[in-house]
Amino acid sequence: MTGTEHLMQPRKRLFILLLAVGGSLVLGLTFLLWWVPSVGLENIHPVLPVVFGMALTVFSLFIVGGLSLLVLTLLSGRDLFMLQPLRGLVVRYLFPAIISLGKLFGVDRDMLQQSFIALNNQLVHTRKLRVPAERTLILLPHCIQMFDCAIKITGNVEKCVSCGKCDISGLLGLAQKFGIEMAVATGGTLARKLIVEKRPKLIIAVACERDLTSGIRDAYPLPVIGILNKRPNGPCFNTGVLLPEVEQALAEYVIPAVRPEE
Ligand code: SF4
């Protein structure tokens, strides 16, 4: 056995074990789906129909209650109780379920993702956060920089000389006005690394629907305000952002840093 093969063994075993467990579960469920209706709950045990009915009622009340709470939160714009776990439920479970449901009905994926981003922003908004500038991070996609700009701003956005050919200069002005750190991420891995390094308490993220959606989900429970980029030249190329939208988010959520001369 070669060294590489030896290293691969435990991973393979775990995967095979999970496959076997998954297979057994499918077989077990298939058997139950056939057996329970054929025999009848009452014939298995006389109290089973009542227990089963109660369990189903509690389950559906839980789901309907959660959804009602969500709708009330969105309509009122107020911080209703259980909001944090509620955002967790939306981000982790409801969103994938809604995407699958939307796919089934042929709803456009971008529209679903836009709706999820708006929903997330509203849920963050209801928390009425005010985060110090030092603990806030503006995260940008690389495509917002003019494609032929010779300056490498990944790693240090402040290298931008503000020539004004792309929105980086305007964003840099806003970041400096509030005293916030701004970073450019070339992908999800770098974005995650930046979050671990800078440990922000709030992220203002600019990106496309797909990246914002995955970013919001990856960063949870960290609050993320998602701002969609503008793509007049198509995706991933010389993109832009509405600066007033970013400024509004900063004004709402960020306590500006006090500069030494103030
Ligand atoms: S504004 Fe900055 S990043 Fe954009 S093209 Fe000019 S120097 Fe490059």
State the CATH number of the domain containing residue 228: 3.40.50
> Percent of the chain, pLDDT > 70?
89
Count of domains observed in the chain: 2
Residues 82 and 152 in one domain: no
From 121, 156, 177, the end of a domain falls on 121
Distance (Å, whole) CA 255 – CA 258: 9
Q: How far is the CA of 245 from the centre of ligand 1 (A)?
A: 20
**Higher model confidence: residue 174 or residue 65?**
174
**pLDDT for position 165:** 96
From 104, 121, 138, the end of a domain falls on 121
**pLDDT for position 7:** 47
Residues 6+ apart with CB under 8 A from 44: 36
Q: How far is the CA of 163 from the centre of ligand 1 (A)?
A: 5
Q: How far is the CA of 165 from the centre of ligand 1 (A)?
A: 6
> Is position 39 within any domain?
no
Q: Which residue's structure tokens are 């007049």?
A: 232
> Percent of the chain, pLDDT > 90?
43
Least confident stretch, 112-126, 194-208, 238-252: 112-126
Q: Is 152 helix (H, G, I), strand (E, B) or coil?
A: coil
> Is position 21 within any domain?
no
Closest residue CA from atom 8 of ligand 1:
149
Residue range 134-147: mean pLDDT, rounded? 96
Residues 203 and 237 in one domain: yes
Per-residue pLDDT at 191 exceeds 70: yes
Backbone angles phi, psi at 132, to 5 degrees: -60, 145
Decide: 165 in ligand 1 pocket, CB within 6 A. Answer: yes
**pLDDT for position 4:** 45
Residues 159 and 250 in one domain: yes
Decide: 163 in ligand 1 pocket, CB within 6 A. Answer: yes
**Higher model confidence: residue 105 or residue 85?**
105
Residues 6+ apart with CB under 8 A from 244: none
Ligand 1 atom showing the smallest separation from residue 146 Cα: 5
How confident is the prediction for the chain on average, in pLDDT? Answer: 85
Check residue 234 and give left, alpha or beta (phi > 0: left; psi -120 to 50: alpha).
left
Indicate whether this model's pTM tops 0.75. Answer: yes
Residues 163 and 62 in one domain: no
From 89, 121, 153, the end of a domain falls on 121
